[in-house]
Chains A and B, each alone.
Chain A
Amino acid sequence: MPDKELSSMEHLKARSHYLRGNLAEDMADPLTGGVTEDSAQLLKFHGMYLQDDRDLRPERTKKKLEKAFGFMIRIRLPGGVITPQQWLALDEVARSYAGETLRLTTRQTFQMHGVLKFNVKTVLKRINQVALDTIAACGDDTRGVMAVSNPHQSRIHAVVYDIARRTSLHFKPKTHAYYEIFLDGEKVAGEGERDDVETIYGKTYMPRKFKIGFAVPPSNDIDVFAQDLGFIAIVGKKNAIEGWNVTVGGGMGMTHGEPETYPRIGDVLGFCRPNDLFAVAEAVCTIQRDWGDRSNRKHARLKYTLDDHGVDVFRAEIAKRAGGPLEKARAFKFTSNGDRYGWTEGENGKHHLTLFVENGRLRDFPDGRRLLTGMRRVAEAHDGEIRITPNQNLIIANIAPENRETIERLVADHRMAENATALRRNSMACVALPTCGLALAESERYLPNLVTKIEERLAAYGLADENITLRMTGCPNGCARPYIAEIGLVGKGPDRYNLYLGAAFDGSRMNKLYREDLDGEAIVAALDPVFAAYAKERQKGERFGDFTVRAGFVAKTVNGLDFHKDVGAKRTA
């Protein structure tokens, strides 16, 4: 580690007494809906962001009002699996305290936005009653662990989900701060003064967020290459998991105008046996804990640690810490990072329904689509489970055959499965404005109309039914993983986006910057000739992302370090 000054965040963590800081006091201050800057940072470790309604900012001071603060609350939900009973609790708090809407995230969990500070404890206590919490849902720790949502392989899914759940527990911070501050739990005397509370993390936790995910080919729905640490299941002949390919160093975030920051696709470092999985995971985690850059938060993710030290050094260190080297990686094949919609039947004879949820937004829309109410009715009638996919969609899973008709009727009655076009179904947007403090441009509120316009162009070339991935984010931090979308749009300013093309449909290759600073109209205009060429020149079965590289519209991105190289439109018509 270079001997550089630690970032202020590191000092804050160190003096926070295991994430307590002044949070309890700040949460109780009745005059402000916010908390201090330090407390806002610590909140993240407890699964919450302090946000404010940016639409309202211009008028607030004039009206003698502070910012319109609201808390974003993210649930820790490994594998995105939730019981109907848990769903009903979330529905209840969303209706009462979170603007009557729930948001499905790109990491298979729920977010509630705009929760008043004074209602946060009520919400957390309520969800605690159904065994849900928000611990480490954000912050410098092991975030929500992802797992394949694919409903076809019900047996494998059950195994992988169980591993994801145990991984989440294994890496869950041990501090009792969350229980003390938010659940009125008993104070653990002296815990803040001890040195041995966090057996994995230590007092300063991780240098930066740390994401883990489990994929099962052929589905790469979790975008395993975007995870800091990914596991790709190698399924043997008897439909049993023989072991895992280990990927390290994925991550989406970057900063505009700072080429030393870049998104990166994880490297497959090798293969491990099921029994070694936790040892490997802990090895990678602790290497990053010890080697990660704690002076510069823009250079603190595992992907930079890996590039700084090199893959070979990193692999050797894993061998040292995990008690043995990784084996040679096994062959695997992904076909897509998207979801398959509609009804399927699992191996266990149960039925599954995958529902498209545009940008993950569950609410009762003014046009009569009642997704929130509909899902509550489903949860009331359903005896299986509900899964959130990494593409912000829902799977009503393990429906007994005799219940299928009921679910079908509820879905129809509440207009929950309106036929969406191919592009829309393959699109994702982050939340962005008005709640996200990082957003430079609109995203969730902007994408639906843009999709409509892009689809008009696709239809003009007979491409309306093509599955093309389109992802938009309001800033370059990459929550909707835009750099592994065939069409990526990243906000730079109000109605200004960078357009990226050329990623692989299965999420194994990133895209490349094609055009900069486009408004909505210019985006459509820039895509139109590419669609025209795709319709005319594509080879049989050729994906749009692959085509744009082969046909010379953009250079191919091989890895993170060349993401910013050779950018720009190589061809425009």
Chain B
Amino acid sequence: MAGHPTIPKTAPFGDEEIALLNRVVGPATATQRAWLAGFLAGLESAAGGAAQTAAPARPAEPITVLYASESGNCERLANDFAKAARKNALKPTLIDMADLDLATLPAIKRLVVIAATWGEGDPPARAVRAFNELMSDRAPRLEGVEFGVLALGDTAYVEFCAIGKKLDERLGKLGARRVADRVDCDLDFAEPAGKWIAETVKTFAPADAANSKVIEVDFTKPAAPPNLDIVEAEITEHLNLNSSRSDKETIHLALSFDGAAPAYEPGDSLDVYAENDPAYVDELLKLAGLSADDKLRNDLIKSRDVTTLSLKTIETYAAQTGHQYVKALIADGQAKEWIAGRQLIDLIATFPIALTADHLRAVTRPLAPRAYSIASSRREVGDEAHLLVSAVRYETHRRARKGVASNFIAERLKKGGRVRVKLRPNRHFALPAPDRDIIMVGPGTGVAPFRAFVQERRATGATGRSWLFFGDRQFTHDFLYQLDWQEALKDGALTRMDVAFSRDTPEKVYVQHKMWEQRRGLIEWLDGGATFYVCGDAKSMAKDVRATLVHVYADVKGIAPETAEQAVAALERDKRYLTDTY
């Protein structure tokens, strides 16, 4: 991690370009840098000096690709869009919504927005500020801007693609001209998104794009990406870290690879390709009267999402089967309420009807992988990757429910078994320079990436201080990786640690309460340039932690709440308040 090479300020580039170059050259490996050097030299000689004498290529038309990404999908699609744009005489500028300055919007001629919807219809955490500004009265008029929106979401949530929809509508209201119709994508977004990108690029491209000879080197893309293919890993450790007295089950999973581990960095995740619970599928097939269909059974277990129940599922079910009650449920507007806490199996059990294999395929989507933050550093564990997975189990509508991926891991993966995984890089949750302080808030499985951080900082001898806030239910039974943390405090990889356990006292104590207790220290660290990380539950924890930090600023610095809010917003803008929540 030490000693990133940087392009000097004196280089013949603009500030923005230097920043871009640094993003590429900075983290590049020696191999990648050597390749780049060779490539540029090759490019120069291919042009053979003739490049200078030949008619200069006509300048590409600028296009701005704005993305609001949480898990990284939108960011990847934005990159895909940029790549396609370059081939069509467009000069794309990629902007993370976290960095958006609204004042620059009216000057943009072509605007593409790729936005994810998160949780219960929320924008991705990093995009909250810009989104709110855009929705507010202070948003500038956008006459003269041409735009198109691509929305990503999850039909399992009621507010499907809400953010994409709102942005699309808002841009229109602000006077921008919609030149590409919005497409809303579900978890299986690859195909519809690819199609939208291809068509939209054409819409924006200059008329003679096909004939132009624009040479564009794609500097915005991270250098030589690590292997993002699906690989098989062997499970070398499968441990429930909770005590046998705990009512929780959190699996520590150690994976080893045939050869090198995917080149992950602290903060990255692994997509785990889980399978459905055969018992659940069997019950589903029995209810559907399709128990004899082994091919279907296999298909459902391995590759279909057989649990999610969305409005779309209900509509498809009604259309496919013509079930009168289901139709009535939709017509009465009660479907939205009915699906809350229910799964596909409830639909079939409550509204039985003769079903075919095709019906079942139609009402299910492809089974998506589940991302888990990596809990180890390759610099400490070598070619292994550790995951921390909490088995999700609960009961709704008098039926026991199990999280698909977490219980696949907890119940059906065993030591010595194999599992398919894929690296999912997250460069928005990376460690700062080694001499910078870090504050990490990670209750429950949210602590996973911080184990990676601490291992990494120990292995690299980082000089910055590290402070971890952890919490769970019971100190004695749920203190994930307790011995690791004790060790890290002893050897200095961790400077401080504060813990909050919610079930050990009559009043529930959470990490934000510990933050409040330690508020002076927090401000001291943050004033000294520390980066603040939050990982874990998005629904309440991440919000509580952020709100608490605002209070902390207000209290310690004796400033108004609005000023404190600005202080935290400034941290976010400076990428010193980073979140990875789910």
Identify the A interface with B (CB < 8 A): 30-33, 53, 56, 59-66, 68-70, 96-97, 116, 118-119, 122
Contact = CB atoms under 8 A, between A and B. Distances in A.
A62 B252 CA distance: 11
Given A64-B252, A65-B483, 7 more contacts: A56-B243, A56-B245, A61-B483, A63-B242, A70-B476, A96-B506, A116-B504
Nearest to B489: A31
A119 B505 contact: yes
A96 B505 contact: yes
B243 A31 contact: no
Contacts of A122: 505
Nearest to A65: B482
9 contacts: A30-B499, A31-B489, A56-B243, A56-B244, A64-B239, A64-B481, A64-B484, A65-B243, A122-B505
A57 to B, nearest CB: 11
Nearest to B240: A63
Given A59-B243, A63-B240, A31 B486 contact: yes
A66 B483 contact: yes
Given A31-B497, A33-B475, A119-B505, A66 B486 contact: yes
B574 interface: no
Nearest to B476: A68
The 10 A-B residue pairs with the shortest CB-CB distance, nearest first, are: A64-B483, A68-B476, A65-B482, A96-B506, A64-B481, A63-B241, A30-B499, A31-B486, A116-B504, A66-B482
Given A31-B486, A96-B505, A60 B499 contact: no
Contacts of A65: 241, 243, 476, 479, 482-483
Given A31-B497, A69-B476, A64 B241 contact: yes
Contacts of B475: 33, 116, 118
Interface in B55-95: none
A55 to B, nearest CB: 9
A60 B244 CA distance: 9
Interface string B238-274: 0111111100000010000000000000000000000
Contacts of B506: 96
A70 B476 CA distance: 9
Contacts of A97: 505
Contacts, number: 61
A30 to B, nearest CB: 5
A43 to B, nearest CB: 18
B497 A30 contact: yes
B485 interface: yes
B475 to A, nearest CB: 6
B169 interface: no
B293 interface: no
Which of under 10, 10 to 19, 20 to 34, or 35 or more describes the interface residues of B? 20 to 34
A53 B476 CA distance: 10
Nearest to B490: A31
Q: Is the interface of A mostly helix, strand, loop or mixed?
A: loop
A119 B499 CA distance: 14
A122 B507 CA distance: 12
Contacts of A61: 483
Contact of A32 (B242, B244, B245, B486): B486
Interface in B220-245: 239-245
Interface in B475-520: 475-477, 479-486, 489, 497-499, 504-506
Nearest to A61: B483
Contacts of A118: 475, 504-505
A119 B504 contact: yes
Nearest to A122: B505
Contacts of A66: 482-483, 486
Contacts of B483: 61, 64-66
A68 B504 contact: no
Contacts of B485: 31
B528 to A, nearest CB: 23
A96 B505 CA distance: 7
A53 B477 CA distance: 11
B487 to A, nearest CB: 10
A61 B245 CA distance: 15
Q: Most B CB atoms within 10 A — which of A62, A64, A96, A97?
A: A64
Contacts of B476: 33, 53, 65, 68-70, 116
A190 B391 CA distance: 54
Nearest to B252: A64
A62 B485 CA distance: 15
Contacts of A68: 243, 245, 476-477
Interface in B24-57: none
B243 A63 contact: yes
Contacts of B499: 30-31
B253 to A, nearest CB: 13
Contacts of B505: 96-97, 118-119, 122
B251 to A, nearest CB: 11
Contacts of B481: 64
A31 B477 CA distance: 13
Contact of A62 (B239, B484, B489): B239
A400 B242 CA distance: 52
Contacts of B504: 116, 118-119
A119 B509 CA distance: 13
A33 B504 CA distance: 12
Interface in B445-484: 475-477, 479-484
Nearest to A64: B483
A56 B241 CA distance: 13
B387 to A, nearest CB: 15
A54 to B, nearest CB: 13
A463 to B, nearest CB: 42
Contacts of A59: 243-244
A33 B240 CA distance: 20
Contacts of B482: 31, 64-66
A118 B499 CA distance: 11
Nearest to A32: B486
Contacts of A56: 243-245
B248 to A, nearest CB: 12
A70 B474 CA distance: 13
A461 B239 CA distance: 54
Contacts of B240: 63
A68 B243 CA distance: 9
Contacts of A62: 239
Contacts of B244: 56, 59
A96 B508 CA distance: 12
Nearest to A58: B244
Nearest to A30: B499
